Amino acid sequence: MAKIGVFVCHCGENIASMVDTGTLVKAMSDHPGVAICNEYKYFCSDPGQETVKRAIREHNLTGVVVAACSPRMHETTFRKACAEAGLNPYMLELANIREQCSWVHSEKNQATSKAIEITRSLVEKVKRNNELKPISVPVTRRALVIGGGIAGIQAALDIAGAGREVVLVEREPSIGGHMSQLSETFPTLDCSQCILTPRMVEAIQHPKITVMTYSEVEEVEGYIGNFTAKIRKKARYVDMSKCTGCGDCIQKCPVKKIPSEFECGLGKRTAIYTPFAQAVPNVPVIDKSRCTYFKNGKCKICEKSCQIDAIDFEQQESVETFEFGAIVVATGFQIQDTSVYGEYGYGKYKDVITGLHFERLASASGPTAGKIQRPSDGKEPETVVFIQCAGSRDPSKGVKYCSKICCMYTAKHAMLYTHKHHGSNSKIFYMDIRAAGKGYDEFTRRAIEEDGADYLRGRVSKVFEENGKLIVRGVDTLLGKPVEVAADMVVLATAMTPQPDAKQFAKRIGIGYDEYGFYNEAHLKLRPVETAKAGIYLCGACQSPKDIPDSVAQASAAAAKVLGLFSREQLEREPVVAAVGETTCAGCWGCVYACPYNAIEKKDITDRNGNLIKQVASVNPGLCQGCGTCVTFCRSNSIDLAGFTEKQIFAEVMAL
């Protein structure tokens, strides 16, 4: 029969102060199948591990239970020890008598009897453990980076820099993302374009990076190391291989009054356009919905103006398929639809704008060439009111979270405004000032102390127009008094929200998301750049609101994960995967619908002559994450999870 070794760890005083380890050792020594039971102060220490190894060898143990802390802490430690002593590492179980016992109890007797129950139930489990071997999966060492903002660019550059191929997909005509729209960046006030453009150029020129702009990821199939992605290239109607980016076509285009998306509607663009002057690639696209030729069948002025025949009205969209080993999702964010704040008059009053508008007004390459002007009449505003948390931290408007960057950019806006407009007057309504970050608090202090930003703690209840002024009515909660400010312009620090199609896209590639649509990481603290789907990583604001430094840091972290994966040709995966019993599978496909990872397929069972006998479910071990959802569902118990078989779980429960 089984010969199990049980090792009771004191964890210093962590366990021993609440659990009577002597009693536990005695109880386990008397348990059927236990060959040896020891206690020690720290089994995770070197001498502790040595004790375990020696016991395995001396007693020919068939299984080991370490009664200590959470398996999250030391499962790997002891698995390694087992393997070194010649025992299959999956013949180990950790009985968590710390987090689940000593730490949560205050009565020693109760804690001790609970520790006994926990430990013996693991002993009963380990008796039924099977030797498992890691699964080897081949790895395609090419990465897909989805999203060409600063996060995506950084991740692509880091991965390519280490010599691995990258395909960078951006759905807009140019990479750059939101960062390219910004004027100066906090807390150093260096010009956003100036630091971004070199990166963009580096990316497009990198021999290992294929940049696919105006393209979207249609579909992702497969699993870690072995993804297949279909990428749809939208028709640009400009031959990228020919275009030199001279801009003649743009000059000649007769449709000139289209509000520019890049300029947040503050500027205009043509029907054939590049979103901004420094666009990468510097190749225009034709906006089919606005182009006269596409609408009326006549015009083609751009074609005529192009010296090198780069315009191609016949161009079709195409779908290309690539194999990838890893995917970095960097799809970024959007700003909240500010119309939810009807009381602030956004959309009603032209001079109520968002922070992003303000960025364009302040940008030297923007529609006003960097002059802060009112959109309504082009006058320079004397008094500007900034309203922070105009969307964030407001559950009634659907956003409970803090958008993290607004405190900083509002301070920056006030500062830029003062710099450009001496003697101007900025009033900032705020709830709290959150300026945790290197140089951040100093930055906000500077806005207040050096640049005269006037911070009013309180909420704004209403913005309305009176005599050509925007009257901002609110409360100064520090004074406890209502305030009214007559402003020339109001800037709303709107919330960062996920892309409107974030949830749909997550479903397409099979990753999880939270209630808003921000993508879920595998573990908030310990695995912040991985998703629960192995091989797919996250960076930037698609995961949660982030500023540039954080996005870039996370992008490098994601790249490090990808490179770690790419460091070997074969990937070893945990063998904790499900498998289907084909004789009893009834083929109802419940498991197929239940699987969060799309790891279960339909498989034909044929006789020797190839005639179809029946269809059964089949688990792809490469995709399976061992979550067990299918097991709990299967009515005929035809699926079992290696390492957590029903037999093991049943024995565990029965021993309680």
Partner 1 sequence: MGIQEQYRSEAAALLSSGEVKLVIGFGEGSTADRRRPLFARTPEEAQKFVLDAACIANLSTYLVTEGLLSDGKKVAVFLKPDGIRSVNILISEAQLKPDQVVILGYAIDKAEITALEGRNISDFSLGEEIRSHTPPPHILQEAERIEEMNPAERFEFWKAHFSKCIKCYACRQVCPMCYCRRCIVDVNQPQWVSTSSHTLGNFEWNIVRAFHLAGRCAACGACDRACPVNIPLRLVNYRMGKEVIDAFDYCAGENSSQKPVLASFKQDDPETFIL
Partner 2 sequence: MIYSPFPMRVVSKRAEAPGVNTLKLEFVKEEDHEFFKQNYKTGMFGLYGIFGEGESTFCVASPETRKDYIECTFRQSGRVTSTLANVDAGDIVTFRGPYGNRFPIEQFEGKNLLFIAGGIALPPTRSVIWSCLDQREKYKDVTIVYGARTVADLVYKDELDEWKKRDDVRLVLTVDPGGETPDWQDHVGFVPTVLEQAAPSPENTIAVLCGPPIMIKFTLVALQKLGFTAENVYTTLENRMKCGVGKCGRCNVGSVYICKEGPVFTAAEVQAMPQADL
Partner 3 sequence: MTRILLRNKLDDCIAAWQKAGFSVFAPVRQHEMSSFGEVQKASDMAFDLVLPERTIKDHFFPQTEPLIKYKIGKQQIDSETMTPPDRKRVFFGVRPCDASGLAIDDPLFGWDYKDDYWFRRRDNSVIVTIVCTEADDFCMCTSVKLSPESDKGADVMLRPLANGAGWQVEAVSERGTALLETIPSLLQENSEPTAPVPQVAEKFDLEKVMEWLASKENFESQFWKDISLRCVGCGSCTFLCPTCHCFDIQDEGDTYAGIRRKNWDSCSFSLFTMHTSGHNPRNTQSTRWRQRIMHKFNYYRGKFGVNSCSGCGRCTRQCPVDMGITETLQAISNLPR
- Site residues for partner 2 per CB under 8 A: 1-3
| Closer residue to partner 2, CB minimum distance, 2 or 594 | 2
In the complex, the smallest distance separating the C-beta of residue 33 from partner 3, rounded to whole angstroms, is 8
Place of tokens 């074969």: 570
What residue 120 binds from partner 2, partner 3, partner 1, none (CB within 5 to 8 A, per partner kind)?
Answer: partner 3
What string marks each residue from 497 to 536 as x (binds partner 1 by CB under 8 A) or -?
------x--xx--xxxxxx----x-----------xx---
Residues linked to residue 498 through DSSP beta bridges, in sequence order: 333
What residue 2 binds from partner 2, partner 3, partner 1, none (CB within 5 to 8 A, per partner kind)?
Answer: partner 2
Q: Is 120 in the site for partner 3 (CB under 8 A)?
A: yes
Q: What are the structure tokens assigned to 388, written together?
A: 């922070």
Q: Is 130 in the site for partner 1 (CB under 8 A)?
A: no
What residue 31 binds from partner 1, partner 3, partner 2, none (CB within 5 to 8 A, per partner kind)?
Answer: partner 3
| Closer residue to partner 1, CB minimum distance, 436 or 612 | 612
CA–CA–CA angle 509, 513, 519 (5° rounding): 80
How far apart, in whole angstroms, are the C-alpha atoms of residue 516 and residue 1? Answer: 53
Place of tokens 């550059």: 157
What element of type H or E holds 36?
Answer: strand 34-40
How far apart, in whole angstroms, are the C-alpha atoms of residue 317 and residue 266? Answer: 30
| Closer residue to partner 2, CB minimum distance, 267 or 643 | 643
Q: What is the DSSP string of 170-221?
A: -SSSSB-GGGGG-SEETTTTEEHHHHHHHHHHHHHH-TTEEEE-SEEEEEEE
How far apart, in whole angstroms, are the C-alpha atoms of residue 336 and residue 495? Answer: 5
What residue 1 binds from partner 1, partner 3, partner 2, none (CB within 5 to 8 A, per partner kind)?
Answer: partner 2
Q: Is 87 in the site for partner 3 (CB under 8 A)?
A: no
How far apart, in whole angstroms, are the C-alpha atoms of residue 373 and residue 517? Answer: 35
What residue 591 binds from partner 1, partner 2, partner 3, none (CB within 5 to 8 A, per partner kind)?
Answer: partner 1
CA distances from 357 to 91, 194, 272, 385, 386 (A): 61, 19, 23, 14, 13
Q: Is 93 in the site for partner 3 (CB under 8 A)?
A: no
What residue 507 binds from partner 2, partner 3, partner 1, none (CB within 5 to 8 A, per partner kind)?
Answer: partner 1
CA distances from 433 to 386, 459, 491, 617, 636 (A): 13, 13, 17, 55, 58
| Closer residue to partner 1, CB minimum distance, 294 or 633 | 633
| Closer residue to partner 3, CB minimum distance, 31 or 393 | 31
Place of tokens 């393997």: 83
In the complex, the smallest distance separating the C-beta of residue 220 from partner 3, rounded to whole angstroms, is 40
**Residues 322/142, Cβ–Cβ less than 8 Å:** yes
What string marks each residue from 621 to 650 as x (binds partner 1 by CB under 8 A) or -?
------x-x---x-xxxx-------xx--x
Q: What are the structure tokens assigned to 347, written together?
A: 């959309």
In the complex, the smallest distance separating the C-beta of residue 24 from partner 3, rounded to whole angstroms, is 15
Among 594, 601, 603, 643, binds partner 1 (CB under 8 A): 594
| Closer residue to partner 3, CB minimum distance, 613 or 654 | 654
How far apart, in whole angstroms, are the C-alpha atoms of residue 460 and residue 468? Answer: 19
- If you compute the radius of gyration of the chain from its CA atoms, what whole number of angstroms results? 31
How far apart, in whole angstroms, are the C-alpha atoms of residue 524 and residue 506? Answer: 18
Binding residues for partner 3 restricted to 18-37, rule: CB under 8 A: 30-32, 34
Among 583, 607, 612, 635, binds partner 3 (CB under 8 A): 583
| Closer residue to partner 1, CB minimum distance, 17 or 637 | 637
Q: What are the structure tokens assigned to 625, written together?
A: 């994450």
Among 132, 162, 588, 605, binds partner 1 (CB under 8 A): 588
Binding site residues, partner 1, CB under 8 A: 503, 506-507, 510-515, 520, 532-533, 583-591, 593-597, 613-615, 627, 629, 633, 635-638, 646-647, 650-651
Binding site residues, partner 3, CB under 8 A: 30-32, 34, 120, 124, 583, 651, 654-655
